[in-house]
Amino acid sequence: MVSTNTLFILIEPFPLLFSNVIKKIKMKKSTACLIAVCLALTTNAQITTFETLPLQPPAVYWNGIQGIDSTITFQNGSAMFINDRDTSVWGDSWSGWGYSADTDTVNGTYTNEMSAITGNGHNNSSKYAVAYMGYDSLVNKIKFTTTALISSMFVTNTTYAYKTIRDGNFTSKKFGGPSGNDPDFFRLDITGWLGGTPKPDTVRFYLADYRFSNNANDYIIKDWTLVDLSILGTVDSLTYNLASTDNNSFGMLTPSYFCLDDLNYVIDGINELTDADSIHIYPVPMNEYAVIENSTAKNLGLTIININGQTIYSSTIEKYETKKINTSAIARGVYIMRIDNGEKVSFKKLIK
């Protein structure tokens, strides 16, 4: 449980655990890819990779200070993550966020809660974050130091969650049940917040899905998988929730963990073009052509980028101009269109 009575102490450096970290000690009286490609086009783009967060050998992960009732906020890039240690209820438990370089993909028990089923971070990096959903929603959050245009992240299962879902254990069911036909799922929901108000859309991503009529299509995520968050737009924080079909009267029985890496966003300073800026693109999906209507009094810079980050088209659209672009030579696939009016920028996903 996160205490409301906290003392903020900036520790610089913190040689035994990490530097450049804000530590909150409780004072109790008795808690890349496609979207990355487009972000690389702006100097305010950041990718939270967790690679610079320190580990004190022989430790291969960090999930708080054992035995000390504390709440610690660690920061990587402009993203901040809360770790809560509680020694009052279950002896010594944690919730919120930690980070790891653990490579254990064999041990599927609760003693191996800090390893990704991939055995490493995204793109074979060494470190990644591990989320353990707490009862206090304050820790189930990513906060940004300023507003951010959110883009994407990569997620996967922990080894513990993956093998519990696949095999079951003494408290949790094997997904699909004895027949394999039970329509089970394990889902991650991401909500964006701005100024204390939730954004209208929630991104739902299935870490495991056994709801298919053909059991051969059932799956458990075991690779780093891109989650597109661009629908959330500009945020100052993200919250998450985990949901499962395996529950009892006390709550969810599926281990409430997931792993996160390469969180992509653009920090404040980039104003976002919206539909209110009178720029329209059609048809969707594009076929042999794409039309861009510029109903504004400003010229627009237009760039189309493929998934490898290569610019395949660039042009200027004059003020009040409607331009028809020949796209017949463009292969079918997914692209990013970057539109810049000198003050605001927008990234639009194009499909052909």
The pLDDT tens digits for 251-271 are 999 999 999 999 998 876 545
Q: Does the pLDDT of residue 17 top 80, yes or no?
A: no
CB 338 within 8 A of CB 272: no
The whole-number pLDDT of residue 136 equals: 86
Q: Does the pLDDT of residue 168 top 80, yes or no?
A: yes
The whole-number pLDDT of residue 268 equals: 64
The whole-number pLDDT of residue 96 equals: 97
CB 53 within 8 A of CB 81: no
Tens-place pLDDT, residues 30-82: 324 454 445 444 446 789 999 999 998 899 999 999 899 999 999 999 999 99
The whole-number pLDDT of residue 342 equals: 77
Q: Does the pLDDT of residue 1 top 50, yes or no?
A: no
Q: How many CA within 13 A on the CB side of residue 252?
A: 20
Instruction: Work out the mean pLDDT of the chain and round it to a whole number.
Output: 84
The set of residues, in sequence order, having a beta carbon less than 8 Å from that of 207 and lying 6+ positions away, is: 155, 157, 161, 186, 187, 188, 220, 221, 258
Question: In whole angstroms, how far apart are CA 17 and each of 27, 70, 117, 164, 231?
Answer: 21, 14, 25, 31, 36
Q: Does the pLDDT of residue 214 top 90, yes or no?
A: yes
Tens-place pLDDT, residues 286-303: 888 889 899 888 899 888
Mean pLDDT of 79-100: 92
Using only C-alpha atoms, the chain has a radius of gyration, in whole angstroms, of 22
The whole-number pLDDT of residue 22 equals: 33
Selected residue with higher pLDDT from 114 and 279? 114
Beta strand spans in 133-278 (E): 141-156, 185-194, 197-209, 219-220, 225-228, 234-244, 247-248, 251-252, 257-267, 271-272
Tell me the C-alpha distance between 226 and 223, whole Å.
Answer: 10
Q: Does the pLDDT of residue 243 top 60, yes or no?
A: yes
The secondary element (H helix, E strand) that includes residue 129 is strand 128-132
Selected residue with higher pLDDT from 351 and 148? 148
Mean pLDDT of 112-141: 96
Selected residue with higher pLDDT from 267 and 248? 248
CATH number assigned to the domain covering 6-267: 2.60.120.1350
The whole-number pLDDT of residue 109 equals: 97
Query: Percent of the chain scored above 70 by pLDDT?
Result: 83
Domains of the chain by residue range: 6-267, 273-351
The whole-number pLDDT of residue 14 equals: 33
CATH number assigned to the domain covering 273-351: 2.60.40.3080
Mean pLDDT of 150-170: 96
